[in-house]
Structure 1
Amino acid sequence: MTSEVAVAAPVRAQRVREIATELGGLRGALIPILHAVQEELGYVDQPDVAVIADVLNLAVAEVHGVVTFYKDFRRTPPGRTTVAICQAEACRAVGAVPLAEHAQQSIGCSFGETSVDGRVTLEAIYCFGNCALGPAVQVAGKLHGRVTPARLDALLGEAR
């Protein structure tokens, strides 16, 4: 373990405690806190769960249950680029399934995972609201329509 990692954990825990304390007074504060932690720190790490539980006076198991139940919460660091492929019916009807299969093969991971090199996280999304231009894909926060496997490869090349 490097000293950078040893220093990062207490700093992260302190920031998670600050976020949880700031938002703890909200009604139903747990989910907004989890979203805020993920937004700022990239993911909800297991030690974060204990800190949030402590601030909210909840059982660690209760917070862990929420984090693991909702697919919105990432429990590992995301890749440098996130690729999200719509899997809703309209996009599936125009090629999202083979596009997803191509993406998984070319990136080397399944939905909800990050490539071994840490470059790309692949996510399934259920509707971007871009149904007329399906299959829809979001790469690094930018939405693209009518994406083919070849176009996805080009977008991935640009993102990498």
Structure 2
Amino acid sequence: MSVSQPWSAERALSIVAEHAHQRGALLPILHALQDTFGCIDEEAIPLLAGALNLSRADVHGVVSFYHDFRRTRPGRHTVKICRAEACQAMGADALLDHVRRRLTVDPHGTTADGVFTVEPVFCLGNCALSPAVMIDGTLHGRVGPERFDALTAELRDQTQTGGAR
């Protein structure tokens, strides 16, 4: 995961220009904005509405409908915990409770130190190795509390020593 840039209307407009020719350009633009800035900034809503000849309500509706779009910047590391049936059957609920206690964060929240954002997701496609967790795009199977602690401790150590993001 790369370091996101601070919001810039100028950069956002260049992203709009890169994708405006596409049919159904709003979704690719929103993804590109989030990839660049880490979230969909409040200022992006009127900017996109004007650039794409949409209402602010239309843009807001798309941003709020899709759970992948964030309105606030995520932590340095994103932890996705599968909540689908196979993972639930193998202990995902207990794992999520452990994560809440260990990181002191609610689902869809970011830790106070800004290191981790926790996102429950419906399926990570790793049912045979459930419960599944994805950290910064890397899929991990058969994750119990001890393994989760080891994975996140390594990332916290890297963050505190200024290592990899």
- TM-score for both structures, normalised by structure 2: 0.87
How much is the aligned-residue C-alpha RMSD, in angstroms?
1.2
Q: Aligned letter for 1:101?
A: D
For these two proteins, the number of residue pairs brought into alignment is: 151
User: Aligned-pair distance for 1:19?
Assistant: 1.0
Within-5 A mapping of 1:7-156: 8-9=6-7, 12-156=8-152
Secondary structure of the residue aligned to 2:43 is helix
User: Aligned-pair distance for 1:116?
Assistant: 1.3
Secondary structure of the residue aligned to 2:134 is strand
Provide the C-alpha distance between the structure 2 equivalents of 1:52 and 1:106, rounded to a whole number of angstroms.
Answer: 39
Provide the C-alpha distance between the structure 1 equivalents of 2:66 and 2:42, rounded to a whole number of angstroms.
Answer: 15
Q: Aligned letter for 1:146?
A: R
User: Aligned-pair distance for 1:78?
Assistant: 0.8
Which residue is 1:4 aligned to? Answer: none
Contact 1:139 1:159 survives alignment (8 Å): no
Contact 1:140 1:159 survives alignment (8 Å): no
Q: Aligned letter for 2:109?
A: E
Contact 1:85 1:123 survives alignment (8 Å): yes
Unmatched segments (≥5 aa) in structure 1: 1-7
Please state which structure has a larger fraction of its residues in helix: 1
Contact 1:81 1:119 survives alignment (8 Å): yes
Secondary structure of the residue aligned to 1:114 is coil
Contact 1:108 1:115 survives alignment (8 Å): yes
